[in-house]
Amino acid sequence: MSILIAPSVLAADFANLQQEVEMLNKSDADYIHVDIMDGVFVPNISFGLPVTEAIKRHALKPLDVHLMIINPDQYLEAFKNAGAAIISVHVEACNHLHRTLQAIKDLGCQAGVAINPHTSIETIRNVIQDIDMVCIMSVNPGFGGQKFIEHTYTKIKDLKKMISETGANTKIEIDGGVNANNAQMLKDAGADVLVAGNFVFSAADPKQVIADLKVLK
């Protein structure tokens, strides 16, 4: 199956967000990755609901909303209303992950779970069948443009094994430090979706970069 590409607008020019989203509409991107940071769960603040709504107003691709926030349950409905198609919460921010996943699905969204680099995939084994997409963080969340963490490959392979053993229908997304040097290896390890922020938006021709990722063998 061909890899799915989710450019992260965290690296876009916020003063020209409409043009950036229109560029993604014309590109081979499959999703638009929207990074929400609250300054508490992660040491950075990005943007919130009004900006997500503004992206949605122009977007022709589904919004993949990555909540890097504490107490995500409080905001699920608001992000659904702002236009989220996929909502990913962090396992580290959820005391009752099973309930949170059901709440996301009850809203009609796909349910994602993001796991930090230090977090074991065993934390999600018991709910893997309830997860539409696991987002493996390949950097510590909070900032774009960080260096890819190498142990991610092992984690992808282990998670892929867990998914096939349980017969779950769960996609694996990789988020952080994705570029031309690691994209093929990530796909080979079992990644289904690649998030790319700086690699896409700092390129002279972002549409071409997306097209090149999309045709990985």
- Name the residues that contact Zn ion, by CB under 5 A: 35, 66, 175
Q: Is 33 annotated as a binding residue?
A: yes
Give the distance between the most distant pair of CA atoms in the chain. Answer: 46
Distances (CA, A) of 126 to 87, 98, 108, 129, 191: 19, 9, 22, 8, 21
From 31, 33, 75, 76, residue interacting with ligand DX5 (rule: CB under 6 A): 33
* Dihedral in degrees, nearest 10, Cα atoms 102, 105, 110, 115: -20
Judged by DSSP in three states, 150 sits in coil
- Which one from 64, 132, 175, 192 is the annotated catalytic residue? 175
| Nearer Cβ to ligand DX5 (71/198) | 198
User: Is 175 in the active site?
Assistant: yes
3-state secondary structure of 15: helix
By a kind-dependent CB cut-off of 5 to 8 A, residue 177 interacts, out of ligand DX5, Zn ion, none, with ligand DX5
| CB closer to Zn ion out of 56 and 66 | 66
Query: Whole-number minimum distance, CB 8 to Zn ion, in Å?
Result: 6
Question: Residue 157 gets which letter from DSSP?
Answer: H
In this structure, are residues 121 and 155 in contact, taking their beta carbons and an 8 Å threshold?
A: yes
From candidates 72, 83, 112, 144, binder to ligand DX5 by CB under 6 A: 144
142 lines the binding site for ligand DX5 (CB under 6 A): yes
- Rounded Cα distance, 214 and 41, in Å: 32
> What kind and span of H or E run contains 67?
strand 63-68
Q: Which is nearer to ligand DX5, 62 or 145 (CB)?
A: 145
Give the active site residues. 35, 175
* Site residues for ligand DX5 per CB under 6 A: 8, 10-11, 33, 35, 66, 139, 141-146, 175-178, 195-199
